[in-house]
Amino acid sequence: MTDSSLRTRQSNSHKKWNKIIRNWQLYLFLLPAVVYFIIFNYAPMYGVLIAFKKYNPGAGIWGSPWADPWYKNFTDFFHSAWALTTIRNTLILAIYSFIVGTILPVVLALMINEVRSVAFKKIVQNATYIPYFVSTVVLVGMVNLFFGGSGVINQIIKLFGGQSILFLMKNSIFDDLYVWSGVWQGTGWGSIIYFAALSNASPELHEAAVIDGASRFQRIIHINIPVIVPTFIIMLIMGAGSLINVGAEKVLLMQTDMNLEVSEVINTYVYKVGLVKTNFSLSTAIGLLTNFINMALLLTVNKVSGTVSDTSLW
């Protein structure tokens, strides 16, 4: 190394330090966030070690003995009686709500976009956003009240001369109740993201299409849909990244002893194994597994989308 390059290097690092010291306040601004992420995100990542251990609370995370073989907790899960059921239920709920939950907001946005009256548009938009702000507990409480034996749905069925149905006892419609209550809650909200994209559709293009004799429906297919495709793909990739992550919150509330066969998903199982049965290692292993599957899905879909359509997260 020559003398001068050494000197520029030194002065470079010197400059850097000067800059850091001059901007010390910026680092102070970052400090709370850094501390927060260390406690709430990075420390738990270290705790993931117990997925490969036979955790013993007295010995702590580091002191607990390694599982033998190291993947024992994972094989334990696959050999457990609930493995197949939870995986199947998770996949059904995830794919069902993924398909319905990504397509319907697009349809709603396209429909609302065709409305000419601004006032009517606003009413529909604001009305469909409201359910998003209802809590999960209230949502499930409403499902139970509405679909119960003497709930309003059955009253309406009877009004039309039908027989009342015990919806909540029917395991075959658990998935439908889960997904469509989610549709009620999230479709309006999910459509917001598409309005910005739709407003980018050039008016000239529409007018040219009209002159060429295109109907409104044709214009939707050939102008509006292409405009929202990039946004749609981004939503698709993000959805894929949490596909297997059927949250425990809502399912847990909808669960009864009678419907476990269709309602026990991986995340509710993780909760029960971990905090109810206190098998910490097994619970962590299952959680880790889903985390990896999600990450793999995200990376794969992102990659595929990047090559096929030029749209990707990064």
146 binds another protein (CB under 8 A): yes
Find the farthest-apart pair of alpha carbons in the chain and give their distance in angstroms, rounded: 96
Peptide bond into 69 cis (omega under 30): yes
**Per rule CB under 8 A, is residue 195 in the interface with another protein?**
yes
Q: Does 158 bind another protein (CB under 8 A)?
A: yes
Q: Which long-range contacts (CB under 8 A, 24 or more apart) does 201-208 make?
A: 201/227
Which residues 104-123 are close enough to bind another protein by CB under 8 A? 108, 111-112, 114-115, 120, 123
- Would you say the C-alpha torsion 219, 223, 228, 229 has a positive or negative sign? positive
Binding mask 37-56 for another protein (x = CB under 8 A): x-xxxxxxxxxx-x------
3-state secondary structure of 230: helix
Contacts with another protein by CB under 8 A: the residue count is 87
Please, what is the Cα angle at 177 between 171 and 181, to 5 degrees? 165
**Closest approach of another protein to the CB of residue 175, in Å:** 20
**51 within 8 A of 288, measured Cβ to Cβ:** yes
Does 103 bind another protein (CB under 8 A)? Our answer is no
Helix axes 174-198, 83-113, angle to 10 degrees: 40
Of 72-80, 84-92, 95-103, 209-217, the segment contacting another protein by CB under 8 A is 209-217
| Residue 16 near another protein by CB under 8 A | yes
**Token digits of residue 36:** 């927060």
In angstroms, give the least distance from the CB of 68 to another protein: 20
Q: Confirm or reject binding of residue 227 to another protein (CB under 8 A).
A: no
C-alpha–C-alpha distance, residues 289 and 60, integer Å = 22
Residue from the set 59, 134, 221, 304 that interacts with another protein by CB under 8 A: 134
Beta carbon nearer to another protein, 2 or 139? 139
Residue from 59, 103, 137, 221 touching another protein (CB under 8 A): that is 137
262 vs 286, beta carbon nearer another protein: 286
The structure tokens listed for 61 are 């995370």
220 with 107: CB under 8 angstroms?
no
253 binds another protein (CB under 8 A): yes
Spell out the residues 6+ positions from residue 84 whose beta carbon is closer than 8 angstroms to its own: none
Within 270-309, the residues that bind another protein by CB under 8 A are: 270-271, 274-275, 280, 283-284, 287-288, 291, 295, 298
Comparison of 3 and 23: residue with beta carbon closer to another protein: 23
